[in-house]
Amino acid sequence: MVHLVPLGLWSLWVVQVWKLPLYVDEVTRWGYGVWLLNIFKWPWYQTLQIFIESVPKFISAVIDGFLLIPVIFALIGYKRLVLHRKIILVFSFILSFFILFFGTNVYLSRFGFWMFPVIYPLAVLGIDEVAGFFKKYKKWYALAFYILIYSLIIVISSLNIYKFVDYG
């Protein structure tokens, strides 16, 4: 509602006072957000296809946005997260972005990176978990693992990933 009130006031000002048509490029060119209005007009198999493809596309966008390594460690670090209702916190954040992606029907890796408030803290916990496993054998294994993984993440995050991953 906080975002809709200024948008509504601005659109009234543009349409009523200036007598200009309100033009949103993303909606006009690609149909972001308005495709949901068409699901009742489309054949059932086309609607079903969008529903079936939404979860793999979302997962792919998140993996492409982080280039896989932090996502793997985030999955490992989830079990180590110590919060009273961690499932509600983490999955409500993920679900809110999934609903956003699904509503717009846009699954780009640059939008998948918006999951960083969940992925990076969980990835740090996952890296600590794996380093603790290596530390059982020899102490320097954990140190070498930390240096290797954090260096790899820093190098990968410094790259222009859109030269490797489709920008959309």
Tens-binned pLDDT, residue by residue, of the chain (168 aa): 788 888 889 888 888 999 888 777 767 776 676 778 778 888 989 888 988 999 999 999 999 888 889 999 999 999 999 888 889 999 999 999 999 888 888 888 888 888 999 999 999 999 999 999 999 999 899 999 999 999 998 888 787 766 766 665
Kindly report the pTM of this predicted structure: 0.75
Cα 72 → chain centroid: 14
Answer left, alpha or beta for residue 21, where phi above 0 means left and psi between -120 and 50 means alpha: beta
Residue where the block lists tokens 């992925």:
119
**Cα–Cα dist 3/106, whole Å:** 20
Among 66, 69, 85, residue whose Cα is nearest residue 77: 69
